[in-house]
Amino acid sequence: MVAVPVVAVVVAAQGTAQSDNAHGSAAATHCAARGVAYNTRPRGTSAFCAGVPPQCIRIVDSSLERRALFLHLLIMLSYRHAFHAGNHADVLKHAVVLQLLRYLGQKDKAYWYIDTHAGAGVYSLQEGYAVKTGEFQTGIARLWERNDLPSLFSDYVDEVAALNPDGQLRFYPGSPYIAWRQMREQDRMRLFELHTTEIDVLRHNFRDAGRRAMLYAGDGFDGILALLPPAPRRALILLDPSYEDKRDYTRTLRCVEESLKRFPTGTYAVWYPQVKRLESQRFPDQLKKLQERNWLHVSLTVSNPPTDGFGLFGSGMFILNPPYTLPKLLKDQMPWLVKALGEDKAAQFKVEYRGD
């Protein structure tokens, strides 16, 4: 097991990407204002990619397209996952991602982990955005002190506990952090993040990772296509946009479709929200059409839809080329999660699987 990167900024600093020194100063100032400790340990040598790879740069010709792209960026740059860190959707997503990574790690051959929307990597549950919403209280917090966890969720809670060695639930790991803890010397990580502040924090948290973790400040939908197929021909690709822009549903479908042409044997994990939006309701069936066989769909509904029509009441994970062991594991253990996280009588789960 490789060393886990030092967690530095857990409440994201405000501002745009700057030089290392400027970023450190801005982050320290912002964290001090919020009463959050900032790690000022000298940086080690790092090999992060600070720019957008050429393949991610798209020429926008028409004024209409420019306006559409500008609107998309505004929506993207207003979204911060810290508001939702550790909620019920994260519990499902990260428990599944962990099992996918551990399955890949059973063979000695190297694999890649690719994340289209990596976020900051680590989040504070005691300061900043997560405290404002308190969504983790009905997610990871409900599992934190349970002594009856089935293996799927015990493994997941162990990963969260590794970030909280004093036993207090202070920090929550994002997908990149969980993935990094599973990686071996031969494995590689490629992370994309478009939000200017999130990528700064992500770089800091992975500043000592070396060349095995490459970070890209850009659009993951476009960027991952240039990386496929990866050299070892083994990879987990996680696609988990916010879907606050409804075009993310279409972009995700197109990205997976194009990725399968380049790398048909990869494992693709697509997260999606359950919200009162037609695009969300249609999404699982659209994903099923991308590949006739060898897919797995699991969803968790925790409550009835909100009466005001807004808000998350569940989520799902759709996996293409999943491990053959995962469907039974989910069918056996998801009933426990429904009881642990369910809010009303509408709480339920679904597992659908079509093998080879």
pLDDT at 333 over 80: yes
Could you tell me if residue 46 is inside a domain? yes
Q: What is the pLDDT of residue 70?
A: 42
Percent of the residues in the chain that have a pLDDT greater than 70, as a whole number? 77
Could you tell me if residue 185 is inside a domain? yes
For residue range 252-271, list pLDDT tens digits in order: 999 999 999 999 999 999 99
Could you tell me if residue 130 is inside a domain? yes
Q: Average pLDDT, whole number, for the chain? A: 83
Beta strand pairing call for 267-274 and 235-239: parallel
Helix (H) or strand (E) holding 291: none
d(CA 301, CA 307): 15
Could you tell me if residue 163 is inside a domain? yes
Q: What is the pLDDT of residue 63?
A: 55
Instruction: Give the ranges where 206-312 is alpha helix by DSSP (H).
Output: 220-223, 247-262, 278-288
Q: What is the pLDDT of residue 309?
A: 75
Higher-scoring residue by pLDDT: 8, 81: 81
Q: Per-residue pLDDT averaged across 276-297, rounded?
A: 97
117 in a known ligand binding site:
yes
Least confident of 45-49, 237-241, 346-350: 45-49
Higher-scoring residue by pLDDT: 147, 78: 147
| Catalytic annotation present for 108 | no
Could you tell me if residue 212 is inside a domain? yes
The pTM for the full model equals 0.80
Q: What is the pLDDT of residue 80?
A: 62
pLDDT at 7 over 80: no
CATH of the domain at 74: 3.40.50.150
Q: How many CB atoms lie within 10 A of CB 226?
A: 13
Q: What is the pLDDT of residue 132?
A: 80
Q: What is the pLDDT of residue 131?
A: 77
Catalytic residue among 90, 115, 222, 240: 240
204 in a known ligand binding site:
no
Q: What is the pLDDT of residue 300?
A: 99
Instruction: Tokens for 30, please give them.
Output: 């912002």
d(CA 209, CA 192): 15
Q: Per-residue pLDDT averaged across 122-132, rounded?
A: 85
Q: What is the pLDDT of residue 64?
A: 53
187 in a known ligand binding site:
no
Parent domain of 127? 20-354
Higher-scoring residue by pLDDT: 89, 12: 89
The most confident of the ranges 53-57, 134-138, 296-300, 352-356 is 296-300
Residue 17 one-letter amino acid: A
219 in a known ligand binding site:
yes
Could you tell me if residue 236 is inside a domain? yes
Beta strand pairing call for 112-115 and 188-192: parallel
**Sign of the C-alpha dihedral, residues 339, 344, 345, 347?**
negative
240 in a known ligand binding site:
yes
Task: Encode burial over 78-94: b for 16+ CB neighbours within 10 A, e otherwise.
Answer: ebbbbbbbbbbbbbbbb
Could you tell me if residue 104 is inside a domain? yes
Could you tell me if residue 11 is inside a domain? no
pLDDT at 158 over 90: yes
For residue range 44-91, list pLDDT tens digits in order: 322 222 222 323 323 334 455 545 444 444 344 445 677 789 999 999
Count of the separate structural domains present in the chain: 1
d(CA 223, CA 105): 25
pLDDT at 25 over 50: no
